[in-house]
Amino acid sequence: MASERVLIVGGVAAGTSAAAKAKRTNPELDITLYQREPFISYSACGLPYFIGGWVPDHNALIARTPDQFARDGITVRTEHEVLDVDAAAGRITVRDLSSGKTFHDHYDHLVLATGAGVRCPPLPGIDLKGVFRLRSMGDGLAIKQYLAERKPASAVVIGAGYIGIEMAEAFLELGIKTTVIDMLDQVLGTVDVEMAALIETAMREAGIQIHLGAKLAHLDGDAAGQVTCACSTGAELAGEIVLLATGVTPHNELARAAGVALGPREAMLIDGLGRTNVARIYGAGDCCTVNHRVLDQPVYIPLGTTANKQGRTLGAFLGGVERPFAGVVGSSVTKFGALQIASTGMSETMARRAGYAVRSQRIESTDHAGYYPNARPMHVKLVSDAASGKLLGGQIVGYEEVAKRVDILAVALATGMTVEELAWSDLTYAPPVSSVWDPVLVAAQALAKSR
């Protein structure tokens, strides 16, 4: 009996995780992975730190190579673009980008792990030389090369989300005068405005110019390679390199053509095992929705952590083990300089939009005992359902162990804890690393008392 043939389209986080787990679970599977890029299985999240020089070699971001997959019995074909899916025939059409030849391949199971691309506004000048996106290894290498060759003295970053903030820090590290533009009235729209103000202050104090409430209108370039970004506010901001960090959109062309149902942000709708509404077609990663465990509904939150979990869950399922992925609570973390920023669940703004009557509390504490040297401020904001007291989300801005504290909140959200229950959690204490009342407990106590 012939082995079941699994074809995977996309080879960064979700696709390679699915391939590896499926082969480990059922070594008899015949697995081929198609990847448009020359690179597979790399950390896209590490690209700003490669560009900024903290990671000197891009190869450090690569987890596994095609040869390593081949040793495990998985065929990887890089620089191959999948053009079409014929769901009825169980067939895909592929173009070999190096030769230009087109061929067909048949599947018993098809995994679409096609990821996402930068959501670029269709504006004049968007494709000028010196204007970059950062989504792939190829993007990162192109930016690195441009910086080495042109040695720009000024940069404009369009978008103040995670990538925008991280790339602003990278340019600053390289001694490049940096300006950040965002159409919102705050940086990092995933947190509430008072928490965003802490980040904005740190960025401005570091020397970054920030223009908020400024929608990009068009870009103009000159012969010297300088790009001018014209904003809705009338400001014209010039940079010798421009980065578009305007959010991402799922690559759903193949899914749409195959009849796969789409959900929020037109991402593929999948269940906890990665199944779509089309037989024998599955999805994982940044092209897909994921269940939000607080809202109990599909959402689009494209993160590497989620992509890896979805890929592994799907790989196990293809190998014969059914263990559904329950979903996420929306946890994320980044940094700017020494300042760490993390959030989980819903912000107060998001919770109100979702229809909750909310209570919130923001406190300022220190990251360890105040009498121990180098204690620094830590700001914690918690959001709860006013009626039940159930925790809905949390945000922390500080300098040490921010991610650890948000991880506590993430587990509390996943288990449905109330703020009262959180307030009496048994957390660790030692003066060099925490206070006897950890900032998370202080915030939970304050919010519980406000009910």
CA distances from residue 327 to 59, 77, 300, 394, 425 in whole angstroms, order as listed = 31, 30, 11, 18, 24
Residue pair 392/353 in contact (Cβ under 8 Å)? The answer is: no
H or E, element range at 341: strand 339-345
Residue pair 368/433 in contact (Cβ under 8 Å)? The answer is: yes
In the block, tokens 């869950």 appear at 313
Strand partners, 119: none
Runs of H (alpha helix) within 13-130: 14-25, 47-51, 66-71
Residue pair 369/431 in contact (Cβ under 8 Å)? The answer is: yes
Closest CA to 393 of 437, 432, 443, 427: 443
Residue pair 342/406 in contact (Cβ under 8 Å)? The answer is: yes
Radius of gyration, CA atoms only, the chain: 23
Tell me, what DSSP letter sits at residue 62? B
Residue-by-residue DSSP string for 270-295? --TTSB-SSTTEEE-STTB-EEETTT
Q: How far apart are CA 381 and CA 193, in angstroms?
A: 11
User: In terms of C-beta density within 10 A (0-12 exposed, 13-18 middle, 19 or more buried), how is residue 437 classed?
Assistant: middle
Catalytic annotation, residues: 45
Q: How far apart are CA 217 and CA 8, in angstroms?
A: 39
Strand partners, 109: 6
Closest CA to 115 of 180, 189, 177, 34: 34
Question: Would you give the distance in Å from CA 56 to the centre of its chain?
Answer: 22
